[in-house]
Chains A and B, each alone.
Chain A
Amino acid sequence: MRIRFFRAWASNNSGAYVLLGRFRDVAVAEAAARELNQMLAVQDAWTETEPNAVGTAPSKVFADRHGLSFETGWPSWRRGMRCEVLGNQVLLEGHAAYMPPMFVGWIAKHGGHVETEIVHAHGAIIVRGHAWVRNGSRPESRDAAAQTLGSFAERVRDDPEVVAALAPPRWGKAGRAVHVTSEGPSIDIVLAPHEVTRATKAIRALADAEGVQLNLHVFEWIDAQLDPAALVAAAAGTPSYDVMLGDPGPTPERVSTAIVETTNLDPELAEAYVRDRPHPRTGAPPVWPRAIAQRVTEAHAQALLSAIREAGATASMVPADARRRFGSPA
């Protein structure tokens, strides 16, 4: 008899899938989505009753019937995934470590094209909506179009569904903001929602209600060092701010912790900001005052400012554009 000893307890360890497709018109998008959703519902029911019998999954049968590649023969997504129709665009959002090319093929088969496919995303998903009013650039329509777009923008900002689709209060991981920027006879809406389908569906419904044309884009925010809120703020018509750290004070470690806790900034970067060290990634030498947050919303800037001041720092917030135009304030 052999006895081997070791010391261990069990542990538990743990992607977003987003596909945005476009069809020539709403009717084709609806037809393609309807058929896909029927299959997905059948798949869900089948999973409940006959889990995972090889080769008989409705999704596999569907793929085979339409000549779509499925590769593994197994459904890779979790139950409940559905295709949402957003005008002539469709959005399929779920969670999967791996996704067969079936859905991409399905869109192609209906004459559509895939605008974005993100498999197992690692960054925040950013939604950008370009909105305009048909014929709104004609001189006689311009005022009415501006009014319609203004009303649409207001409703997007206040819409409970949009607000609910934004994520919890920590703003470093995924910017919890919606911003609207006006450019001639159109506006852009940029947001980093926690629930992409919910947000896009809500914006689409508001656009339809206001008679606004809407084109949606989604992309992954892949810069782990920068807050996507910075992008959202940068896209905003409202002013954005830089937070300038003048002096970390007697407890730089508290300031560093406050920066990390408020912004989710990489602790190494925060630590470098409060010490007299070069930028850990760019190697740029320390220049005081140091910009510890750039192009963030006023609310974010104030939150950060108050947190680091409480930790003993001397700091200020300055309009981002002013700083770029005139240089850093002394």
Chain B
Amino acid sequence: MDAAIPSSLRHMRPYALDGALLLFDRETGWNALIDGPETAHLRRAAPRVLQFALSHRCNLACSFCSRDADAKALWTGSSAFDFLSEMARAGTMEVAFGGGEPLVFKGFADLVRRLHDETPLGVSFTTNGTLLSAPLLRSLEGKIGQVRLSIYEESDWRAQVRLLRDTGARFGINYLVTPARVERLQDVLLELVELGASDLLLLSYNGADPALHLSDAQLAIVDRDLAAIWRALSTRAELKLDVCWGGRLPSLPRAMSPEEGCGAGRDHLVIHSDKTLSPCSFHHLTYPFETAEDVLRLWEMQRTPMRAATAAPGCAREPDYGLTRARRRLPILEAR
């Protein structure tokens, strides 16, 4: 296979997909996806990405957060490093820290630097932004792929975006599109770009609260508005949709076809603070583990169950996104 890789791409780290080869440069974020007869025999050896909650602790108390704030915190900086090093040796390419709020984890910056310096892993993290500071960002310069800032009305996200911009950090925005945000979606996205953001990831809601799922009419508005703003932003910013949207925004061009599906459980796994894993952040399945070897075994052995749609409505693995499931019924008292 090496012979088939153009010499200009050989500095990139290879990762075998099922029938294809992915090359990744963690310093620039460039990926090259190669497929053809030459790659047909290739098979994955490890999950490509680990979404990692070092702790489920957070300095905010957002009750909508899907993390279990009471989950045991079993990781130390050292044990997380050892585990991730082993996963990197097995083939994992990237770790994306989330939480809980990763910046409340003691020694987080040291862990990031060590992972960058001593492993080939690409390291990123998602934060609520409240603990970001210029010294912290400077200390991580060159060590992280990017910072992803989640936008909450309750926090001063404008100041956080300015800080990221002013310190030259490479960053992107995570923005959950809820019914309340539909009307001003364009305004907020444009303001984010004006503030200096150039990578905007729009998340769809997964969960049981019907008030947070977009109606068909709202989806149509989002589809229309995003198509317009996508053209308007043109080269100024990248607009991205998370995979959970599926095909619900048909007017928007997709880099990868929604039919290629969601990689939860195969391409990526979520590692929780209590040493359990899940296919994705919203999934009802959890598996306890101790070692990297356990994770690789579960990843291989539990492939079929982890292909299931999550019980939470909004999952693109359900034909109807799980949004038309029968209303919950109270069991009749005769059941006594």
List 24 A-B residue pairs with CB atoms under 8 Å apart, sorted by A's residue number. Answer: A1-B35, A7-B30, A9-B122, A10-B268, A11-B146, A11-B148, A12-B53, A13-B242, A51-B285, A52-B305, A68-B335, A80-B68, A95-B68, A95-B69, A97-B310, A98-B311, A105-B335, A109-B335, A109-B336, A123-B63, A220-B63, A224-B153, A257-B156, A267-B158
Chain A nearest CB: distance from B119 CB in Å?
A: 15
**Which among A9, A74, A108 has the greatest number of chain B C-beta atoms within 10 A?**
A9
Q: Does B129 interact with chain A (Cβ within 8 Å)?
A: no
In the complex with contacts A5-B31, A108-B330, A266-B153, A10-B242 CB distance below 8 A? no
Chain B residue nearest to A110 in the complex (CB): B336
In the complex with contacts A14-B66, A105-B335, A224-B153, A167-B61 CB distance below 8 A? yes
Chain B interface residue bracket vs A? 35 or more
Q: Is the CB of B282 within 8 A of A97?
A: yes
Q: Does B155 interact with chain A (Cβ within 8 Å)?
A: yes
| Residue in contact with B33 in the complex, picked from A3, A51, A100, CB distance below 8 Å | A3
B residues 319-336 near A (Cβ < 8 Å) are: 325, 328-331, 333, 335-336
Which B residues lie within 8 Å of A48 (CB)?
Answer: 288
| Residue in contact with B208 in the complex, picked from A9, A68, A97, A125, CB distance below 8 Å | A97
Q: Is the CB of B33 within 8 A of A6?
A: yes
**A interface vs B, CB < 8 Å?**
1-16, 47-48, 51-52, 54, 66-69, 71-72, 74-76, 78-80, 94-101, 104-105, 108-109, 119-125, 167-168, 170, 172-174, 194, 220, 224, 257, 260-261, 264, 266-267
Report the bound CA distance from A6 to B10 in whole Å.
16
In the complex with contacts A12-B98, A12-B124, A2-B34 CB distance below 8 A? yes
Which B residues lie within 8 Å of A257 (CB)?
Answer: 156, 159
Chain A nearest CB: distance from B98 CB in Å?
A: 3
Q: Is the CB of A67 within 8 A of B96?
A: no
Report the bound CA distance from A204 to B170 in whole Å.
50
Q: Is the CB of B96 within 8 A of A125?
A: no
Contact with A along B138-158 (1 / 0, CB 8 A): 000000011010100111111
Q: Is the CB of A98 within 8 A of B207?
A: yes
Q: Is the CB of A12 within 8 A of B126?
A: yes
Q: Helix, strand, loop or mixed for chain A's interface?
A: loop
Which B residues lie within 8 Å of A10 (CB)?
Answer: 49, 51, 94-96, 122, 124, 145, 268
Report the bound CA distance from A95 to B36 in whole Å.
45
In the complex with contacts A51-B286, A98-B312, A1-B36 CB distance below 8 A? yes
Q: Does B177 interact with chain A (Cβ within 8 Å)?
A: no
Q: Is the CB of B125 within 8 A of A12?
A: yes
Chain B residue nearest to A67 in the complex (CB): B335
